[in-house]
Amino acid sequence: MNIYTLTTQYANNMGALLQCYALSKYLNEIENVDCRVLQYLPSEYNRSWSFFNKPRSFRDLVKNIYCLLNPNILLPKIKKQNIMRKFISDYIPLSQNQYERKDIEKNPPKADAFICGSDQIWNFKYRRDLTYFFDFVNKEESKIIAYAPSIADPWSKKNEEFIAPYLRRFDSISVRESSNLAQVKKLSPNNNPVVVCDPVFLLEKRQWNEIADTTLKPNEPYIFCYFLSVTPLAVEVVKKMRELTGLKVLHFNLNALDKFNSEYNIRIAGPTDFIGLISRATYVCTNSFHCSAFSIIYRKNFIFIPKNMANERITSLMDKFGISNVFASKERIESLKLEDLEVDYSNTEICISNFISQSKEFLHNSLSDER
């Protein structure tokens, strides 16, 4: 069976690339399956790899000029991008051809099945692209399946009317967040949509260890910090964790500024380093969905700093896995004790195992059912 997956394989983002890798890796280990990731280049592709933000204000323009003139900012960005591109080349089985939207419309790719997901491909705040709903697929020739796409904020009434006919074309639908399930069921009731786990959970820890790189690991215990944006609460939480544990901080830093005054400030690294450093950490502190996901895979003690849209995604994950007491708040941090940093996985193992098994079953049933 030939399968194309469609996701955010172009994204200059740790979690996006790792979930893309995980789904293709899992599918390719199924007997008689040849899975490739469709090289679709959406309109935002170039923006994802740009060193500079599109200036929306004078301040943005100044920041871009400062970045351009400061080699301590620009050079690490260039080196990191090279690492990310190498990961795509080494680990992601891309389709032979690249496609822009006009190519999809003119000469659509062919396969036995198409699977969209995961990540926020159905988040209309980022894009409203029918390619991610497989409008180009001939249903008489191919199955179309949605595996764990994220919608994030619910679709508006207008967007519901726009997207409903395309949802009803799917053979099977699943979503990643429980909060999105009711809306998708309403728009496509005959598909009986379900909630499944993010693709990174489809692979076992031993499989992640096969690509994990621990070269950058310090020779001492550490707190691993990874933030999509650093808030005052994040700074306060890391400071408190450092005080309680006496451990040094390793900051997997997406920006030039290290607000944690960390002992290890890692700015040039890629997805395999990301996995390796989480796997060897004593504690993890983050506001990232996928950093939290890998903390669970490696059964790490971690704290999640709430951050707007990410809250719903991580809440859904914690509810499914039966994990509590990982959310930080200003009130909680003031009375935080060392034992509060421990995550009790003893009562969650069955929940985790069952949810992952159900997600795998959804994939297998979706691929094997008669059309």
Q: Are residues 151 and 25 in the same domain?
A: yes
Residue pair 53/47 in contact by the 8 Å Cβ criterion: no
Q: Are residues 363 and 304 in the same domain?
A: no
Residue matched to tokens 């500024």: 257
List, for the chain, all residue ranges whose pLDDT scores fall below the cut of 70. Answer: 44-55, 66, 71, 308-310, 369-371
Number of domains in the chain: 2
**φ, ψ (nearest 5 deg) of residue 236:** -65, -40
253 Cβ contact list (under 8 Å, min separation 6) = 262, 265, 266, 267
For the chain, the first-to-last Cα distance in angstroms comes to 14
Q: Are residues 237 and 180 in the same domain?
A: no
Q: Are residues 322 and 228 in the same domain?
A: yes
Question: Helices 71-91 and 271-279 meet at what angle, rounded to 10?
Answer: 90
Among 136, 153, 149, 142, CA closest to 188: 149
Q: Are residues 188 and 277 in the same domain?
A: no
266: left (phi over 0), alpha (psi -120 to 50) or beta: beta
Residue pair 297/208 in contact by the 8 Å Cβ criterion: yes
The alpha carbons of the chain give a radius of gyration, in whole angstroms, of: 21
Q: Are residues 144 and 91 in the same domain?
A: yes
Q: Are residues 251 and 137 in the same domain?
A: no
Residue pair 319/178 in contact by the 8 Å Cβ criterion: yes
Task: Read off the amino acid at residue 260.
Answer: F
Strand boundaries in 16-153, DSSP class E:
34-40, 94-99, 113-116, 143-146
- For residue 239, the SS3 value is helix
Residue at 341 is within a domain: no
Q: What is the pLDDT of residue 48?
A: 63
Among 152, 199, 191, CA closest to 307: 152
Give CA separation, 324 vs 105, 180, 336, 340, in Å: 46, 21, 15, 11
Q: What is the pLDDT of residue 73?
A: 74
Question: Helices 14-28 and 289-297 meet at what angle, rounded to 10?
Answer: 50
Burial class (CB in 10 A: 0-12, 13-18, 19+), 11: buried
Q: Are residues 99 and 190 in the same domain?
A: yes
Burial 251-289 (b: 16+ CB within 10 A, else e): bbbbeeebbbebebbbbebbbbbbbbbbbbbebbbbbbb
Residue at 342 is within a domain: no
CATH code, domain with 151: 3.40.50
- Give residue 313's domain range: 211-336
Q: Are residues 189 and 315 in the same domain?
A: no
Write out the two tokens for 168.
């009803």
Q: Are residues 312 and 216 in the same domain?
A: yes
Q: Are residues 9 and 130 in the same domain?
A: yes
Q: Are residues 162 and 262 in the same domain?
A: no
